[in-house]
Structure 1
Amino acid sequence: MDYILALLSDPAAWAALVTLIAMEIVLGIDNLIFISILTNKLPEDQRARARRMGIGGALILRLGLLGTVAIIVQLTDPVFTAFGHGFSWRDLILIAGGLFLVWKATKEIHHNVDPDPGPDMFEGGRSIGFSAAILQILLLDLVFSVDSIITAVGMTDHVPIMVVAVLVTVGVMLLAADPLANFIADNPTIVMLALGFLLMIGTTLIADGFGVHVPKGYIYAAMAFSALVEVLNILGRRARRRRGEPRPHAER
């Protein structure tokens, strides 16, 4: 109890908490975009439950990983060297997660561009099963959770601060999940933009796994700019519909 009271009276601890919450929320955007796109492929009556289960899984994984902070820290130690780079378990997890994201986003883009692609490596329908969706969400939850906890460990040594930051972040994700998923579902062009984001995030995870660090600020600045441009396009289309103007040739 004395330890908690000392943290509550320490301005540096509050500053670390606010900074960590902001960082965790930004990192959670990637996770939330994937969950939104994947759950939108489920029957409508299953979507909200799948989102809650997926985000709940992220909470359980992150709290579980916090309980093994000493082991998580060791995940950054190299286990073998190849191509002049020492690969750690964290690197391998990021590379595997990045490859999965790139594959999944490419598959979804393929189906959006060509709804009837015929039998090939991307064979499959537009809909997926509930269990398959939850499994894929949990796999990506693991990747993002490991990255999130390692980031948290690098910012503070106090586990209670990490726990509070995780709880706040997951709470924000729960609040934002349905509005974000509904917005993506109601605006088809947003789907392609979000899939582009997943491609970029997956590529960044792979690069990070190979030791090429891309500052997160650049990634999220590019995502925010692209999202702003798309929002302006949506507002422009709505304004033209209200005025009864025909769509531009590029939109037909």
Structure 2
Amino acid sequence: MSLADFLTDPHVWASFLALSAMEIVLGIDNVVFISVMVSRMPAGQRLMARRIGLSLALIFRVIMLAFIAWFVHMTTPIFTIGEFGFSWRDLILLAGGLFLLVKGTREIHEGIEGENGENGGNVVVQSLGAAIVQIAIIDLVFSVDSIITAVGMADHIEVMIAAVAVAILVMYLASEPVAAFIERHPTTKMLALSFLLLIGAALVADAFHFHIPRGYIYFAMAFSAAVEIVNVLALRRRRRAREKAKKAKPAKKTKPAAKG
């Protein structure tokens, strides 16, 4: 197929649009995780961490697509335990799911007791190196599902790479507003951490061949996020009402001092 035929083929564009949309939806997990990771970093390093994290996500996906012939065989069982046959994909998903469960639990514990714990110390600030390592680990896990989805939805590797690049660009544009919103509203960070626990449990279930439809998970996340947005708007309205009440309240007149 010539380049002109390739670019004018409606099936190619249809698969590109469908795959781009799917990759963007699958990237929600990554955006939430990166936003949580950079929330405890110094302000000057957050942008760099987001850029490095999403660059690693793109690199991992392109490398996996380059070795797609080998990658397809990652679903072949390498050993069995009872009735379960575990492949490299299953092991990666299991490790990533456990990592998210542990990380989410520790972040929740730190968020609740970090400032008023037994030692009375402040919340530990995340270093750039530690954040990059953790983002790289979870990027690798999320890349597995992303590429398996790409292989099933498109026939041309060029279309897969273009769709992945578009999804990473959208994730980059969305990561800063999401991170800023989480920073302005601390309660949303706890909600984001609960999302990580939910995603981690889903990855562990996938590793044991018990697939939880992602539509259910994303619906639960969207519903919880909508409720949280309503709570934030209601809190903002109450604050404005209190400020207006304070301004409208007349000042108390002071009584003149009694003459001696």
Paired residue secondary structure (2:75): coil
Tell me which residue corresponds to 1:215.
213
Distance across 2 between alignment mates of 1:180 and 1:195 = 13
- Report the AA paired with residue 208 of structure 2: F
Distance across 2 between alignment mates of 1:131 and 1:78 = 34
**For structure 2, which runs of at least 5 residues remain unmatched after alignment?**
244-260
Q: Deviation digits for residues 70-123 of structure 1, max 9, x if unmatched? A: 11101011111113011110010000000000100000001112124459xxxx
Shift of 1:7: 2.7
1:8 maps onto 2:20 in alignment: no
Distance across 2 between alignment mates of 1:229 and 1:11 = 40
Distance across 1 between alignment mates of 2:145 and 2:117 = 35
Distance across 2 between alignment mates of 1:118 and 1:35 = 29
Tell me which residue corresponds to 1:138.
136
Tell me which residue corresponds to 1:50.
49
1:36 maps onto 2:35 in alignment: yes
Distance across 2 between alignment mates of 1:97 and 1:91 = 10
- Counterparts of residues 155-194 of structure 1 (less than 5 Å): 155-194=153-192
Tell me which residue corresponds to 2:253.
none
Q: 1:117 to 1:3 in 2, by over 3 A?
A: farther
- Counterparts of residues 117-136 of structure 1 (less than 5 Å): 117-118=117-118, 126-136=124-134
Tell me which residue corresponds to 2:84.
85
Q: Deviation digits for residues 131-179 of structure 1, max 9, x if unmatched? A: 1110110011111112111110011121011011011001001111111
Tell me which residue corresponds to 1:236.
234
Structural RMSD (CA)? 1.7
Shift of 1:4: 3.6
- Report the AA paired with residue 185 of structure 2: N
Q: Deviation digits for residues 203-222 of structure 1, max 9, x if unmatched? A: 00000111001111100011
**For structure 1, which runs of at least 5 residues remain unmatched after alignment?**
246-252
How many residues align structurally? 241
Which is greater in Rg? Answer: 2
- Report the AA paired with residue 71 of structure 2: I
Distance across 2 between alignment mates of 1:88 and 1:139 = 18
- Report the AA paired with residue 58 of structure 2: L
Q: Percent identity?
A: 53
